[in-house]
Structures are given as C-alpha cells and as structure tokens.
Chain A
C-alpha cells in the first residue's frame, strides 16, 4: 500500500473526500449566516435550529403527508423560510434599533425553544430517513467506496452556493442587497423598501439552513439537537471567512471541511477543535477574517 506520512493513500484521500462533503454543509450554513449578518448585523444563533427544522420538516412530511425527498428539497426550505420571515417581522424587527448583541441573545432563546420543545416530542435519539431510491448504492472511486448520496450532497450544496453567489453579485436584487448592507438609509431614500428587503433576506438565509437540513436527513439521525453543535463550528467558519462575506463563507466552509478531514487522519480527537484554533490564529493575524474588509 502507498502511504502518505504513514497513512494509506486510500484512507487519506477518503478522509479528504468526507471532509469536503462536511465542508459543503458548512458552506451552506455559513452562507446563510453571512447573508443574514451582512444586512441585519445579527449573529443568528437560531441557524442550527433552522437546519434541524429543515430535517424535521422532511421527516414529518414523509411520515404524515407522504411528501417525498425531492418535493421536500423544495418545500422544507420554503416552510422554514416562511417561519423565518414571521420571526423577523414579529421579533427581530422590534429590537433592530438596539445593540446587535441583543439579536444574538434573542435568537439564542429561540434556538432553546425550538430544540427543547422538539426534544420533548421526539426525544434525542433521532429518527432515520431513508436514502432516496435514485441515490442508493455507491461509486467505486478506486481509493474509496463513495455512497452516491454523499456525492449528491456535495454537488447540490455547491450548486446552491454558486447560485446564491450569482444572485447576490450579478443581479439587480443582489445589488439592492449589497447596497442595503452598505447604507440602508440611503437605500430607503432611493425608494427601496428596506424593511421588506430585511425580512426577505432573513427568510432566505434561514431557508438555506433548512435546505442543508433536508440534505442531512438521510445521512444523520434526525434529532432535535442535530444543529446545536454544528452551529458553533459554523460560527467559527463565518468568523474565519470574514463576517458578512458571501464568497468568504463558501470558500472557508469547504476549506475548513478539508482541514477537519486532514485532522481526522492524523489526530482524530482534535477534529472538532481544529477549526477554533484556525479561527483564533486568523483573528490574530487578520482581524476582519480572510475575506472580510477591514472595518
């Protein structure tokens, strides 16, 4: 067997592959966070809960309404996105004028409510969602056996991330969004309905999290706490990428997935921690993050 630093190549490549797939989840989630932070300046602590709700919507949709995976891929983000818009209108808007730390605290409370309530209904051990039939089986890549579904996750996440980037950087709506991020008062003066833009943005960011949740449903046990530990990692990703930077969030997400995969080869116990180490180093050297603009 060929070895790389004492590890078989197959295992090495395999871990990188899995890291990339995890990175796709980070990218989707941090993208949503970054979009929200850009316009609302809120660190959305409820993001993990929204990811979890996306997975639950998929699971319950199948169990009670007979909605299949492909429909859920569209419907779950819509439902959760709508919920996000309601939250923004009813709650977040009321504290918009305050220190943004209150937004963080409010969404933290929301996360506790969503997760805690679902724990009572469904327990924490988690339910299983079947892999959609078209995506069962796997691909023999030579260095590893890659389940088809995981390959699909990677592709789907990348397509959505690129699509989002395109919309924000290349379309009129995206231009409003970027301008709103820079100077909301001026936008308002130009006749753009900024409050509506904020509601839509929050809904969209949250929908991205729910989309990640749908992708995760067949992979991991669907449980109320599935988003809570992931969220902390995604925070680190967003900070490393530069808060509010769209491209930064996506690239850092994938990159951190790879770094995590590498760590799993050589020091698996530290896999969950390495990202925080990177974050501290980055903040020491580049306070605004890798892709952020110096404030």
Chain B
C-alpha cells in the first residue's frame, strides 16, 4: 500500500474508477452466468442478440455520430446467409455458419459504407435507408431466402462438432459468449486511440480533417465494424430461433434498433444493452397480456418521451446523476 501514498488525487480517482468498473463488469458477468436459471433462456438469448445489434448500431451513432436508417440489412444478411448455409450443408458447424454470415455482413457493410459515408446527417440516414430497401428487395427475390416464407427449421447443430446446441442452456452460454466477444471488440475500439479520433470527428469534423486525419477512412472502418457486428447478431439470432425472415430486413427493424439505443443511452457502452433489454422485455410481456397489440404505440410514446426529455437515455441520465453526486 506504500505506492498509494505517492499517487496524485487524480490518479487515485482514476484507479478507483477503474476498480469500480472492473467490479461492475464482474458483477454483470456473474448475472449473465446465472440468468438462465432465473429466466426463460430463449428470452434471454433474444435480449442478448438484440443487445449486440444495438451495441453495433451505437458504435456508429454514439461514437461516429452517423445515424444509419438501414441497419436491418446487416442483421438480415447475417441471418439469411447463416440460415441458408446451415440448412443446406448439414455438415457445417454452427460457428462456421455464423462466421460466414458475419463475413457477408462485413462485405455488405463495406459496399454500403463506401456509398454512404460521403453524406452527412439526414442525407446519410436516407442513403442507408434506400440501400437497405434495395437489400429488402433482394431478400424477397433471391432464391436462397425463401421469399415471403423465410427460412425455417435451421438446425442448431453442434458447436465445433462437439457441443449439442439443442439444449437451450448450452445455446444460451454460446450466445452469451458471442455477446461478450462482440461487446469486448466494441469496448476495445471505443477506448483505443482509434475510438478517440472517431469521437473527435463526431465533435468537429473540419477540425479533424485539418489535423490531418483521413476522416473518410475512419468513418468507413466504423461503418464496416458496426455492420459486421450487426451481422454477427443476426447470424446468432438465426441459430437460436432456427429461422430467418423478412421481419429482420424491414425498415421497422432499423427503427427499432434506434429506439433501443436511444432509450438506453446513445454513446454509452451499456446503454444499448439496457435499451434492448427493456424493449424486448416490453414486447415479451405485452405479447402475453391483453395489451398485446399496444406494443407499437407504447414504443412510439417512449420514443417521443426520450427525444423530448431525456435524450441521454437511461444509462446516460444515470451517469449524469452519478457524476454529479460522486465528484
């Protein structure tokens, strides 16, 4: 404890903060590990898949300041490619299917990215929306997606050819692991020098340009990363639910992920997780109740309230309170 004496108060605070953060991560990990014994695993898997989707989206909106209205395309691409491969080639193990699906989303992300990042603000949103609509058309027409019927009965298979994923518990831990990997990638990206530059671009693009940064390359990388992670979420979701359908490709899905992120907190690491958890729980609970059909107006109301009065989202507002009281 001798070293503590020599630390400046600022360093001491930083050390405490990182300690607190590690404890927090550990607690979350523990919650994730015991959760399937407390709640319905399929429901939890849905939350995790959408949380990963929302985290991926948040990487773009929260850290690069780009509002994409076409992220459903990546979710669906991952899902369809994985679903098609796993149904057609029974020898293929699920992780291979998921990796290929993710790779397809990365490739699509690169194409979208090149076309879209030259635009900003509303134009960027509209271009991504248009591109996603083109993909929606592809998904309806292409022979491998099953058109309006979608893909059904995708086998979950055996992970690495060893672990049977038919049991919901085994499947859950796999999804949890996928989520952690995705989350770790985002966390690393955000806290790296790369993430700092991204934030600088978000705050003041002309300044970043004048400092000599290749802004387009930074944005493109963020876009591709975000698309790939969204694809990973879609691929995993297809393995869990054993189906892929147009619901995931519809522009409403792009709207939903915005809501999740906004509700949880744009630009916070845990915001999308909280937002996805809340939205999926809400849908799940309402679907069972007589209010089943009121899901969309209630989501709309939350949207309006978020925009009007707490634009930092739940986690963002909570952080503000924490900072105010613990400084």
Most buried by B among A43, A95, A102, A105: A105
Query: B115 CB to closest chain A CB, in angstroms?
Result: 7
Establish whether residues A100 and B123, one from each chain, have CB atoms under 8 Å apart when the complex forms: no
A83: CB under 8 A from chain B?
no
Which among B47-55, B127-135, B220-228, B276-284 touches the partner chain?
B127-135
B304: CB under 8 A from chain A?
yes
Q: Which of B127, B251, B303, B307 contacts A112 (CB 8 A)?
A: B303
Q: Nearest CB to that of B138 among chain A residues?
A: A273
Establish whether residues A104 and B141, one from each chain, have CB atoms under 8 Å apart when the complex forms: no
Q: Which of A95, A100, A117, A280 contacts B297 (CB 8 A)?
A: A117
Contacts of A210 in B (CB 8 A): none
B314: CB under 8 A from chain A?
no
Q: Which of A104, A116, A272 contacts B300 (CB 8 A)?
A: A116
Contacts of B303 in A (CB 8 A): 105-106, 108-109, 112
B 274-303 contacts with A by CB, 8 A: 293-303
With contacts A120-B294, A269-B141 known, is A243 near B299, CB below 8 A? Answer: no
With contacts A100-B121, A106-B308 known, is A235 near B300, CB below 8 A? Answer: no
Establish whether residues A120 and B297, one from each chain, have CB atoms under 8 Å apart when the complex forms: yes
Contacts of B307 in A (CB 8 A): 95, 102, 105-106, 109
With contacts A270-B137, A279-B130 known, is A105 near B258, CB below 8 A? Answer: yes
A160: CB under 8 A from chain B?
no
- Count of B interface residues, CB-CB < 8 Å: 39
Interface string of A75-104 (1 = CB under 8 A from B): 000000000000000010011001111101
Assembly CA distance A101 to B121 (angstroms) = 7
Query: B252 CB to closest chain A CB, in angstroms?
Result: 8
Contacts of B262 in A (CB 8 A): 105
B125: CB under 8 A from chain A?
yes
B217: CB under 8 A from chain A?
no
Establish whether residues B125 and A104, one from each chain, have CB atoms under 8 Å apart when the complex forms: yes
Establish whether residues A272 and B129, one from each chain, have CB atoms under 8 Å apart when the complex forms: no
- Count of A interface residues, CB-CB < 8 Å: 40
Query: A101 CB to closest chain B CB, in angstroms?
Result: 5
Assembly CA distance A105 to B131 (angstroms) = 19
Most buried by B among A101, A110, A111, A284: A101
A156: CB under 8 A from chain B?
no
Q: Which residues of B contact A (CB under 8 A)?
A: 67, 115, 118-119, 121-123, 125-127, 129-131, 133-134, 136-137, 140-141, 251, 255, 258, 262, 293-304, 306-308, 311
Q: Which of B67, B118, B140 contacts A101 (CB 8 A)?
A: B67
Q: Which of A120, A235, A272 contacts B293 (CB 8 A)?
A: A120
Assembly CA distance A114 to B301 (angstroms) = 10
Assembly CA distance A271 to B63 (angstroms) = 37
Establish whether residues A43 and B293, one from each chain, have CB atoms under 8 Å apart when the complex forms: no
Q: Which residues of A contact B (CB under 8 A)?
A: 43, 91, 94-95, 98-102, 104-106, 108-117, 119-120, 232, 235-236, 239, 243, 269-270, 272-273, 276-277, 279-280, 283-284, 287
Assembly CA distance A243 to B123 (angstroms) = 9
How would you classify the secondary structure of chain B's contact residues: helix, strand, loop or mixed?
helix
Assembly CA distance A188 to B301 (angstroms) = 33
Establish whether residues B122 and A100, one from each chain, have CB atoms under 8 Å apart when the complex forms: yes
Establish whether residues B119 and A287, one from each chain, have CB atoms under 8 Å apart when the complex forms: yes
Assembly CA distance A236 to B136 (angstroms) = 15
Establish whether residues B304 and A91, one from each chain, have CB atoms under 8 Å apart when the complex forms: yes
Q: Nearest CB to that of B298 among chain A residues?
A: A116
Query: B204 CB to closest chain A CB, in angstroms?
Result: 14
Assembly CA distance A157 to B174 (angstroms) = 57
Contacts of A100 in B (CB 8 A): 121-122
Query: B134 CB to closest chain A CB, in angstroms?
Result: 5
Contacts of B298 in A (CB 8 A): 116
Q: Nearest CB to that of A103 among chain B residues?
A: B307
Q: Which of B127, B296, B302 contacts A283 (CB 8 A)?
A: B127
Assembly CA distance A277 to B132 (angstroms) = 11
Query: B10 CB to closest chain A CB, in angstroms?
Result: 33
Establish whether residues A272 and B297, one from each chain, have CB atoms under 8 Å apart when the complex forms: no
20 sampled A-B residue pairs with Cβ under 8 A: A43-B122, A91-B304, A105-B258, A105-B303, A106-B303, A108-B300, A109-B304, A110-B300, A110-B304, A115-B296, A116-B293, A116-B295, A116-B297, A116-B300, A117-B297, A119-B293, A269-B137, A269-B141, A273-B133, A283-B127
Contacts of A110 in B (CB 8 A): 300, 304
